[in-house]
Amino acid sequence: MTQAIAEDIDPFTISYPGARRPDRHRWVNSYGVHIHVCEWGQISDPPLFLVHGGSDFAGTFDVFGPLLADEGWRVVSWDHRGHGDSDHATLYGWDADVRDGLSVLDSTRPDPVPVIAHSKGGGMMLQLADALPRRISRLMIIDGLPTPQPAPDITNHEQRRMDEKAVGEWLDHRRKAASAQRKPGTLHELADRRAKMNPRLPRQWLEYLVTIGARRDPDGWRWKLDPAIRFGGFGPWRPEWSLKRLSQLDVPLFGMTATVAEEMGWGTKADSLRPYMPRGSKLLEMEETGHFIHIERPHEVARLALEFLS
In the chain, where the domains are located: 18-150+235-309
Higher per-residue confidence, 239 vs 93: 93
pLDDT given for residue 233 in this prediction: 57
Whole-number Å distance between alpha carbons of 105 and 77 = 10
Higher per-residue confidence, 168 vs 100: 100
DSSP 8-state symbol, 84: T
Beta strand 220-223 with 214-217 is antiparallel
pLDDT given for residue 164 in this prediction: 73
pLDDT tens, residue by residue, 267-296: 899 999 999 999 999 999 999 999 999 999
Helical pair 203-213 and 187-197, crossing angle rounded to 10 deg: 110
Query: Over 46-83, what HEC string results?
Result: CEEEEECCCCCCHHHHCCHHHHHHCCCCEEEEECCCCC
Claim: this prediction has a pTM higher than 0.85: yes
Q: Are 21 and 11 in contact (CB under 8 A)?
A: no
pLDDT tens, residue by residue, 70-122: 999 999 999 999 999 999 998 888 899 999 999 999 999 999 999 999 999 99
Question: Topology of domain 18-150+235-309, per CATH?
Answer: Rossmann fold (3.40.50)
List CB contacts of 19: < 8 A, sequence separation 6 or more.
62, 63, 66, 208
- Reported residue count of the chain is 310
pLDDT bucket at 257, cuts 50 / 70 / 90:
very high
